[in-house]
Each structure stands twice: as structure tokens, then as C-alpha cells.
Chain A
């Protein structure tokens, strides 16, 4: 990375730091670590550089994987669920989700074989053939809890 790239990454780093400080001042929600966030900066749409994730451990790794694949943080249940697994197991379990299949993400340079499972592939196909705008308009009329469950399935 040249000086210009270093300076640009510093902006992302310091900006994240400002936000995290603000949240601490307000005693507010948990956010990921700086390292987890920075590992996802410049991620392309479908290819995730696994080397950036592999540097992280524990919850940082899980948060970075979720941000890379789903562009969201894991919820409390997901954090608890995945805490028992190794990095390889986490990646394989996530790859079996419908959302992973829909997003067509690949981990570049990953030493493990990470492929969508049968269920994920079916949901991915179902999503592809249906009109998402139509489904969204239906889903928006549902109770909020059900909407969130649907979001988790496809997002």
C-alpha cells in the first residue's frame, strides 16, 4: 500500500473511531471492532479477500464475515450460535444459508471449500425467479417481527 492508500485507509479508520466514540458517550448499542470494520473496506461486490478476514479472531472474525457477506452485523442469537464454531465451520454454515446463495459471494484465497448447500441453492433460485418488488410490497404489510425473519432469510 502506498502513502496515498495509507492516508485513505486512515480516513476510514478515524471516521469509524469518531462514530464509535460517539456511541460510547451515549452508552449505546454494540458495534463491531475497528479491525472488523476495516477488513471489509474496499470489498468488491462478490469477491471477499479471505486473507483480510483470517487475521481476525473470535467475534471479530464473525462480525467481519457477516459484514462482508450480508453487509450487516450478526444479531445476539447469531453471535451466540456461531461462538461455538471454528472459522471453517462458521464459513460453511453461512454458505448454507439462502442469503449467501442469493448474494453469490466467493472467498478469494480461502483454504476451505465453502459452497452453498442444497437449501441455500433452492432459496437462491426462488429469489431469482420471483419479483422482488412484488414480494417486498407484500412483506411490508406483515408484522415487524415476521418482516425481520424474512429479511434474515434473504438478506
Chain B
């Protein structure tokens, strides 16, 4: 089975979180499978063709995330109409940002009987365009139209996204291609022993790469943590509102994540808060060990997004037995289920009341921690196996 993957964005990217991270984890595992041949490709503007990327070297890059990416490029080129009949074109990265519009590419692939299987992480630019840059929205509309018109199968990671795509197709009076759900995994096994309420929670052997600032945060008292890129749809505003109006005397707040575009007002609000770096912290470039440390010492994860494709922080919290206080959205319910308590998306008062209630009711808080006890996190191996099964079904016509 030959699987082509457009990795143009990864070849020029500087951050490998979110969607690129998923692609890289899958490629690492696909490269170990004998029954599939992965062919990463990158659009070459000078040749106006796809350039083939060395598969083994690319898989290595997916592990190390370092090294000269020029060395991954081969001299082999493939024109748009030269993809192998019966192969799979697996669009899993942010391909709507590339030069090759899918409204152009997909009909060419279809003509050559290539199976088109995109992984749709979410359709947020369609459902919530107000949270996205307009350039991204327009390019995503082109991509989504092509997906609905030409895909042979669609992969998603949640039932919520599947329902969204089917609802969209219905509103457009068309039929969506068949949609398969494959849950995202993670490398969580190493964290299962670093649970919040075990004696390992303060294991000093795990703190060699943890800065003094992060350790001081943990020592400063109980705190809520919010993890994720600071951008409009993550709704940090409701958390800040709750903190400033109700919680600042009772609990600290840590916001960890890169800053997206257009968030200057929120950043300014944090930096001008009288409690900045004394009870309210923003951490932009925490490494994996520091994020783990912050989770393990957190009182709870506060996850206030308006919209998510998946919500990996929910799993990251559950696997460390950190209670979750999440916005009342279908995706959060699907991922966290009864292991979280929920609040209205824009209701900072309800969020504040929920936190204060837990602070005053230790038994309820412990019961919330206990709910995460038997949580078994999915693995990337599970995800890769699920995706390969779908490939096999597509190739065999099932």
C-alpha cells in the first residue's frame, strides 16, 4: 500500500505542536510497518511538482525534530498527475495553507484513480470563522469544498467532528463521504506513574530540566492551570474574568502556551494585573518536563475553549489525575466525559462558583480526582493502527 503525505508545512515549520505533531507521530509509526510504503512529498515551486522526501530520514526528523531539512529532500519529482493509481493520498497536515489548492489537486488525483483520504481535525474555520484569520478561512473553505466533492473516505478523531461534517453536508444538501473515527493517542505511559496524589508527585529525579520559576509557582500555593496556544477560541478571557473578580484571593492561575496573533490586549491585561508573577503567571516556552511538573502540582485544569478539534490538555490532565473544570461544549464532554465538571462558555461567574465550591468541599474534590483513577489513555500506536485499518478498507473497497 503506497501512502503519499504532503509534508510541505512540516518541511518549513518551526513549531511542532497540534496538527503537525499528529502527522509526525503517525509517520514515525507508519515507517515501521512493512505493509505500507510511506512517501512524504513537498511542493517545489520552481519545478511546479512535488518533490519526494526521503522517508526514513523524514521519520528520523519526526523523532528528533532537529537537523538540516535540506538533507531530507531527494532529487525525485512527481507531477500532480503522476501519483500511482490505487495509492492513497493522505492529507493530514494543514494543507490548506500550502500553494497547492485542493480544489485543483483533488480532481487531478481523482482522474488518476488515487484514493483521497484526508484527516479532518476539525472544521472550526467553517463553524467558527470569527475565531480565525480570514486568509485561513478562505483557504479552508476551498479545502473543505474539495474534501466534500472528492474524498473517498474521511478520518476524524472524535464523534463531535464527524457529526459536524455530516451536519455541514446536510446543510449543503449533499452527502458526506464515509467518515471513520480514530482517536488520537499520546505518549502518556511515562506519566502514569507521576500521578498527582501519589508519592511520586514530587519526585525530584524528574525535575532536572525544570526552571526555578516553575518550581516557585508550584510552591506558591494552589493554582489552576490552562494549557494551550493563547488565541481567541481558547477563551482565556473567561478564566481571567473569573480570576480577577472572584478567585484571586483563593487560588493562583497559571497560563501556559505560545501567544497567537491578535492577543496583545489579553497579554497586556495579564502583564498589568497587580498579581502578575505573584499569583498569576504566563509561561510561554515551557519544555515538556516543565509542563509535566505544572500539571502534577496543579489543583485543577481549567479548559475554557469555545471550540476544539480534540483537546489534548484534557487527556494530559486525566492521565496525571488532575481534576478538570471545562467549558460546556460537545467536544469537551466527549473527551472528558464525567471526569470533568462543566461551566457555561462565557459564564465567568459559574466558573468562579465551581472553583470556590471545590475549594470549600474537599470530599467533592477528592471524588473528582478519584474519577480519573481508572483512566486508560490512548496511545499513538492505537491511532496509527486505526488509520492503517482505514487505509486497508479503502484499498480493498470496503
Whether, in the assembled complex, B229 has its beta carbon less than 8 Å from a beta carbon of chain A, the answer is: no
Q: Does B135 reach chain A (CB closer than 8 Å)?
A: yes
**Contact between B144 and A45, CB atoms less than 8 A apart:** no
Q: Does A80 sit at the interface, judged by CB under 8 A? A: no
Is residue B138 within 8 Å, beta carbon to beta carbon, of the partner chain? yes
CB distance from B267 to the nearest CB of A (A): 11
Looking at B98-106, B359-367, B372-380, the stretch in contact with chain A turns out to be B98-106
Q: Which residue of A7, A41, A73, A136 is within 8 Å of B12 (Cβ)?
A: A136
Which of A45, A137, A140 lies in contact with B100, CB distance below 8 A? A45
Q: Which residues of A contact B137 (CB under 8 A)?
A: 19, 31
A41 interface neighbour in B145, B173, B261, Cβ under 8 Å: B145
Question: B172, A18: Cβ atoms under 8 Å?
Answer: yes
B14 at the interface (CB under 8 A from A): yes
Q: Of all chain B residues, which has the CB nearest A36?
A: B138
Interface size class of A (residues with CB under 8 A): 35 or more
Per-residue contact bits, chain A 38-67, to B (CB 8 Å; 1 contact, 0 not): 001111111000000000000000000001
Q: Is residue A146 contacting chain B, with contact meaning CB distance below 8 A? A: no
- Cα(A60)–Cα(B28), bound, Å: 45
List the B side residues contacting A30 at CB < 8 Å: 134
Contact (Cβ within 8 A) A104 B141: no
- CB neighbours (8 Å) of A37 from chain B are 138, 141
Q: Please indicate which of the listed interface residues A37, A41, A71 has the most CB atoms of chain B within 10 Å of its own CB.
A: A71
Q: A71-B139, A137-B14, A144-B261 are in contact. Are A23 and B130 (CB under 8 A)?
A: yes
B149 CB contacts on chain A under 8 angstroms: 8, 11-12
In the bound assembly, the distance between CA atoms of A72 and B139 in angstroms comes to 8
Given A18-B126, A73-B135, CB of A133 within 8 Å of CB of B69: yes
Q: Total A-B residue pairs with C-beta atoms closer than 8 Å?
A: 105
Residues of chain A within 8 A (CB-CB) of B145 are 8, 11-12, 15, 41
Main secondary structure, interface of B, reads helix
Whether B134 contacts A41 by the Cβ 8 Å rule is no
Q: Does the CB pair A15–B144 fall under 8 Å?
A: yes
B residues in contact with A14, CB < 8 Å: 172-173
* B171 and A18 within 8 A (CB): yes
Distance between B302 CB and nearest chain A CB, rounded to angstroms:
25
Interface membership of B20, Cβ < 8 A: no
CB atoms of B48 and A12 under 8 A apart:
no
Pairwise interchain contact A71-B99, C-beta atoms closer than 8 A: yes
A102 part of interface (Cβ distance < 8 Å): yes
- Does B270 lie at the interface of the complex (its beta carbon under 8 Å from any beta carbon of A)? no
A16 lies within 8 A of chain B by Cβ: yes
Q: Are A11 and B172 in contact (CB under 8 A)?
A: yes
Q: Are the CB atoms of B142 and A40 closer together than 8 Å?
A: yes
Beyond A45-B48, A67-B138, A132-B12, whether A19 also contacts B129 by CB under 8 A is yes
Tell whether, in the assembled complex, residue B45 and residue A15 are in contact, meaning their CB atoms are under 8 Å apart. Answer: no
* Distance A14 CA – B264 CA, assembled complex (angstroms): 34
Q: Is B148 an interface residue (CB 8 A)?
A: yes
Docked-complex contact A104 and B48, CB < 8 angstroms: yes
Contact B46 A104 (CB under 8 A): yes
B107 within 8 A of A: yes
Asked whether any CB of chain A lies closer than 8 Å to the CB of B174, the reply is: yes
Which residue from chain B places its CB closest to the CB of A68 in the assembled complex?
A: B101
For the complex, is A90 an interface residue (Cβ under 8 Å from B)? no
Residue of B nearest to A13 (CB): B145
Task: State in angstroms the CA–CA spacing of A67 and B99 once bound together.
Answer: 11
C-alpha gap A114/B12 in the complex (Å) = 29
Taken together as a complex, chains A and B put the C-alpha atoms of A119 and B173 apart, in Å, by: 49
Contact B130 A45 (CB under 8 A): no
Q: A63: nearest residue on chain B (CB-CB)?
A: B138
| Residues A131 and B104 in contact, CB atoms below 8 Å apart | no
Q: Min CB distance, A132 to chain B, in Å? A: 6
The reply to whether B100 and A28 contact each other, CB–CB distance below 8 Å, is no
Bits for B113-127, please: 1 = Cβ < 8 Å to A, else 0. 000000000000111
A78 within 8 A of B: no
Which of chain A's residues has its CB closest to B137's CB?
A: A19
A30, B103: Cα distance in complex, Å: 23
**Candidates B70, B125, B142, B261; contact of A131 at CB < 8 Å:** B70
Enumerate chain B residues within 8 angstroms of A16, measured Cβ to Cβ: 141
Provide the residues of chain A in CB contact with B144, threshold 8 Å.
Answer: 15
Residues of chain B within 8 A (CB-CB) of A11 are 145, 148-149, 172, 174
21 A–B pairs (Cβ distance < 8 Å), ordered by A = A8-B149, A11-B149, A16-B141, A22-B128, A22-B130, A29-B130, A29-B134, A31-B134, A41-B142, A42-B107, A43-B103, A45-B43, A45-B45, A73-B134, A104-B48, A128-B46, A133-B12, A133-B69, A133-B70, A144-B261, A144-B264
- 5 closest cross-chain pairs (CB), A and B: A12-B145, A72-B135, A26-B130, A28-B130, A8-B149
Residue ranges of B at the interface with A (Cβ–Cβ < 8 Å): 11-14, 43, 45-46, 48, 69-70, 99-101, 103-104, 107, 125-130, 134-135, 137-139, 141-142, 144-145, 148-149, 168, 171-174, 261, 264
A interface residues, Cβ below 8 angstroms from B? 7-8, 11-12, 14-16, 18-19, 22-23, 26, 28-32, 37, 40-46, 67, 71-73, 102-104, 128, 131-133, 136-137, 140, 144
